Amino acid sequence: MMNKRVRSSILGLFTALCSVAQVPDTFLFNELTFLRQARDYAPTVLSSNLEVDIQNQEFLAAKGAFEPKLAGKYNLKNFDNKTYYNKLNTGLKLKTPLGIKVDGGFTDNSGVFLNPEANVPVQGLAYAGIEVPLGAGLFTDEERTHIKQQRLETDAAALLNTLTVNDYLLEAGESYWDWYGSILLLQVSQEAVALASNRLNFVKRKNIIGESADIDTLEAFINYQNRQTLNLSAIVKWEKNKNYVRNYIWLPTRNADDLKPEVDMKYEAVFPDSLLGQQYIKSHPMIKLLETDSLVNRAGIALAREYFKPQVDLAFKLQENASDFGQFDYSPAENNYVGVNVYMPLLLRKQRAKAKQLQYKEQIISNKKSEVSVRLQNAQRTYYRNSLDLKRSVNVWSTATVNYRRMLQAEQTKFNLGESSLFVLNSRELKWIDAREKYIKSYIMYRKSILRYYHSLGILSAVLAQ
């Protein structure tokens, strides 16, 4: 009968193990895998990428200023059985990136009351012309400046995207390490509760047979309660960090509950040689963004100064009877149109004020660049040194944990032999637990400091691509 019960228990245990084995395997992912999935799938990053696409379209729209434009105009007026006028004007207009305007087309006008200057040959009039700015607008104008600025804004959008991703990956990485640290601390607190529970039961048994005083039982019970309180605090912190890290988990094929962190506790950071050459500071996205803003502003200054000059536009057209259009027999000395437009504000208040404003803005950008450069350099140096110091702290607490463990084991042996007190044993154990907690916290701070170092260089996204 007993053997049958044993076999039944073993069979039940085997069935339970099989059912557990059918649960989907957890997916272990390290810091690199975690950050890559955040970079590839997080809505914040995807939206930032779309901002770059939007700016690319803005640049494409700006280039539309130099697209050929087909134009046509037709006017007809009939009254009292008379055709007052019948006017048709069609053509093609083009503004070149040099500021020169080119147009050509066909005009056909007729009517009883047609303005004499609108008279054209019976077959119509063909024309081809050019308009050249000789003063303001010769070197740049609103359209050319706008295109140049939009091209620069495209570069700025890419830099802003890099900064956004850089900041987001730092937030995600820190949440990952807070989550992992809370898991380790929870394990320590659970083990501490188990040790306190076992010791309480041990002291109770000794008290029953008279080998331990009642006060020892009370002390063991109080220690067990303290461990439970610390465990509850660790559970709360773990729950908080577990829920927070889910804000950065966007794997489309995985449930957040199936993911577990995988960490190499012997990790050694690799630091780029940037403290000597400082090439990373000069190429930092924030510095590049400020330089791009400066270029956009300088384009505005050049445009404002362009209109310090008088506006002189020269237009010249060749005209010919439409019936002779295919012969290309134009007579520039006879059949032509010449026009000159001159415009010059006397005091230039608007233009000078605009240029002055942009010059002030240029100084603001320069000041900000200097400040940001110093801040980035100091942040880089700070996180570099912090990472090295924290790594030494990790090594110290790792060794201390091993030594405290050995002392605890020796004290436990003495206690079992009745050569030590419960107070001393608990003190040894608390120091061992405290050393483990400090080791974990130092390691988490070390890994977060490395992330902040790469973030200070603006290369977190680039690191993931390697």
Q: What is the DSSP string of 41-96?
A: H-HHHHHHHHHHHHHHHHHHHHGGGGS-EEEEEEEEEEETTEEEEEEEEEEEEEE-
pLDDT at residue 424 tops 80: yes
Query: In sequence order, what are the residues at sequence separation of 6 or more whose Cβ sits closer than 8 angstroms to the Cβ of residue 266?
Result: none
Query: In sequence order, what are the residues at sequence separation of 6 or more whose Cβ sits closer than 8 angstroms to the Cβ of residue 437?
Result: 185, 188
pLDDT band, very low/low/confident/very high, at 24 (cuts 50, 70, 90): very low
The pLDDT value given to residue 325: 61
Q: What is the pLDDT of residues 302-356, one digit of tens each?
A: 999 998 999 898 988 888 887 766 655 656 667 778 889 898 888 888 889 999 9
- Write out the two tokens for 315: 């237009």
List C-alpha distances in Å: 336 to 44, 104, 332: 61, 13, 6
In whole angstroms, give the CA distance from residue 102 to residue 134. 15
Mean pLDDT (whole number) for 444-455: 94
In whole angstroms, give the CA distance from residue 464 to residue 452. 14
In whole angstroms, give the CA distance from residue 10 to residue 4. 10
In whole angstroms, give the CA distance from residue 108 to residue 90. 9
Query: pTM (2 decimals)?
Result: 0.83
| CB-CB contact of 51 with 71 (8 Å) | no
Report which residue type is found at 254: R
- Annotated domain spans of the chain: 28-61+145-296+357-465, 68-136+309-347
pLDDT at residue 427 tops 80: yes
Residue 257 vs residue 59, higher pLDDT = 59
- Calculated CA dihedral for residues 375, 379, 380, 383, nearest 10 degrees: 180
Please tell me whether residue 118 adopts helix, strand or coil conformation. helix
In whole angstroms, give the CA distance from residue 386 to residue 393. 10
List C-alpha distances in Å: 62 to 16, 50, 56, 154: 68, 18, 10, 12
Burial of 83 (C-beta count, 10 Å sphere; 0-12/13-18/19+)? middle
In whole angstroms, give the CA distance from residue 200 to residue 218. 9
CATH assignment of 28-61+145-296+357-465, among 3.30.2130.10, 1.20.1600.10, 3.40.50.720, 3.60.10.10: 1.20.1600.10
- The residues that bridge with 19 in the sheet, in sequence order, are none
Q: What is the pLDDT of residues 341-353, one digit of tens each?
A: 898 888 888 889 9
Mean pLDDT (whole number) for 119-141: 88
In whole angstroms, give the CA distance from residue 111 to residue 185. 96
Mean pLDDT (whole number) for 148-157: 95
Please tell me whether residue 2 adopts helix, strand or coil conformation. helix
Candidate from 130-139, 263-272, 401-410 with smallest mean pLDDT:
263-272
| CB-CB contact of 296 with 382 (8 Å) | no
In whole angstroms, give the CA distance from residue 283 to residue 290. 11
- Write out the two tokens for 169: 């990956």
Q: What is the pLDDT of residues 256-298, one digit of tens each?
A: 777 888 898 888 887 876 554 467 788 899 999 999 999 999 9
| CB-CB contact of 294 with 62 (8 Å) | no
